[in-house]
Amino acid sequence: MKSDEHVIWHDAGVTRERREALNGHRAINLWFTGLSGSGKSTLAHAVEERLHAMGCRTFVFDGDNVRHGLCGDLDFSLEDRAENIRRIAEMVNLFLEAGMVALTAFISPLEKDRQRVKDIIGHSNMVEIFCDCSLEVCESRDVKGLYKKARAGLIKNYTGISSPYEVPQNPDLRLETGKTSLSDCVEEVILILLKRNAVKDVSSKKSENRIGSNS
């Protein structure tokens, strides 16, 4: 007997649409993928700061942070990495139901795992953002010394060294994080959210308020 045969989904009276209306923006996932050191977490938190200033309800799922709790029982084999990503996708789904902007910063090295995320979340509910940064630049940013340890054989299954990273072929947004400034990368992310009508342009609203106050 499957464990889920007697588990029935309960539909809440307060729907995602009602929560989005209350929040004043769409629920959406920003999935940042790229090598370690490519700037995923830095960019995700910078975008969150910008969205927070715009009045959006947000949360960042950081790859290292979830390894301390939700996925603390997993290692870095390809099988456990796949399970790590699956758990995060399911958690993101709950945050989308809550009407929030969920930002996820994970290496997520394999295309099949990223496709599974899209299958779980729904492609229309997410923006896949490829932080495109050369291995050389990523290694130069190696403040934790992890790449050096991986090259010395002290860390197994390290992406880019002893474990593969499959470059996204059709990401929604590709950012050259090794060449482009953080502020410009943030602007690119905000722009695609505006184009998708996921968030509102508060700068124009502020301008309208200033004009109205002078009339």
Please give the positions annotated as active site: 108
- Alpha-carbon distance values, 35 to 17, 131, 166 (Å): 35, 8, 10
Write b or e for each residue in 93-106: b if 16 or more Cβ atoms lie within 10 A of its Cβ, otherwise e: bebbebbbbbbbbb
**Per-residue tokens: 38:** 């490519």
Q: What is the dihedral of CA 179, 44, 130, 110, to 10 degrees?
A: 130
Of all helices (H) and strands (E), which one includes residue 105? strand 101-105
The full DSSP string for 74-87 is --SSHHHHHHHHHH
> 68 CB contacts (<8 Å, ≥6 apart)?
none
- Alpha-carbon distance values, 69 to 63, 93, 202 (Å): 11, 18, 36
Q: What are phi and psi of 173, to 5 degrees?
A: -150, 130
